[in-house]
Amino acid sequence: MRLTESTLSKIDEAILVGIQRGDEAVYKTLFTEYYPVLTTFALKYVSEIDTAKEVVQEVFIKLYRKRESLTIQQSLKAYLFKAVYRTCLNVIDQENRRSRHYQEATLHQSDTEYTDCLEEAEATQRIYRAIEQLPEQCQRIFTMNRFEGLSNQAIADQLNISKRTVETQISKALKLLRKALFLLTVYFLLGSNFF
């Protein structure tokens, strides 16, 4: 493995040593940390969630197999996102392999589009994590609406509570999410440098 830039953070360097050694704990930490956000990111390019998951798994398996000859520029995070992006393009290309319009049909993004997709995936992941932190009842009602697509009336009927209670809980959920995500932006910007 070769580190090409000195901009790698100390944490990245420590992790890279673990990667090179094939340390199971390091791989597990990386995988659990990045699997959901990378899957979200892969879904920008492929349509099926199972395909997206397979792409990300393949990236990790390749990382492990190539660990000794690996070159990482920038950061580990940048490496993983780029690898997922390339693998997605391969999947699309394979689908288009016999096409007479091979060149045009291949999806290549500008740097800005790529960065937008990456940031969107990260934002989605942050919201998901924040939803997981909501108080139990509040979380349940909020996810019934936002994840399962139930109307507030349907939630009220199912939980045998008033529609107004449902609306109050959703309002509470949004306020807590806003507190966690918008009013702590500085914290998240700092935090994102670590990986």
* Binding region for other proteins (CB under 8 A): 24, 27-28, 31-32, 35-36, 39-40, 43-45, 47-49, 53, 57, 60-61, 64-65, 94-101, 104-105, 107, 109, 113, 116-117, 120, 123-125, 127-128, 131, 142-143, 145-149, 151-152, 164, 167-168, 170-171, 174-175, 177-178, 181-182
The residue among 40 and 87 lying less far from other proteins, judged by its C-beta, is: 40
Q: Smallest distance, Å, CB 172 to other proteins? A: 8
The residue among 8 and 76 lying less far from other proteins, judged by its C-beta, is: 76
Helix axes 10-21, 76-95, angle to 10 degrees: 60
Q: Smallest distance, Å, CB 6 to other proteins? A: 29
Burial 11-46 (b: 16+ CB within 10 A, else e): ebeebbebbeeeeeebbeebeeebebbbbbbbbbbb
The residue among 31 and 188 lying less far from other proteins, judged by its C-beta, is: 31
Cα separation, 135 vs 58, in Å, equals: 36
Q: Smallest distance, Å, CB 3 to other proteins? A: 22
Q: Which of 9, 56, 7, 49 is nearest to 30 (CA)?
A: 56
Q: Smallest distance, Å, CB 10 to other proteins? A: 25
The residue among 8 and 80 lying less far from other proteins, judged by its C-beta, is: 80
The residue among 10 and 98 lying less far from other proteins, judged by its C-beta, is: 98
Cα separation, 2 vs 182, in Å, equals: 38
The residue among 3 and 64 lying less far from other proteins, judged by its C-beta, is: 64
Q: Smallest distance, Å, CB 86 to other proteins? A: 17
Contact criterion met (CB below 8 Å) for 45 and 113:
no
Q: What are phi and psi of 68, to 5 degrees?
A: -80, -25
Q: Smallest distance, Å, CB 14 to other proteins? A: 20
Cα separation, 147 vs 140, in Å, equals: 10
Dihedral in degrees, nearest 10, Cα atoms 185, 37, 8, 86: -130
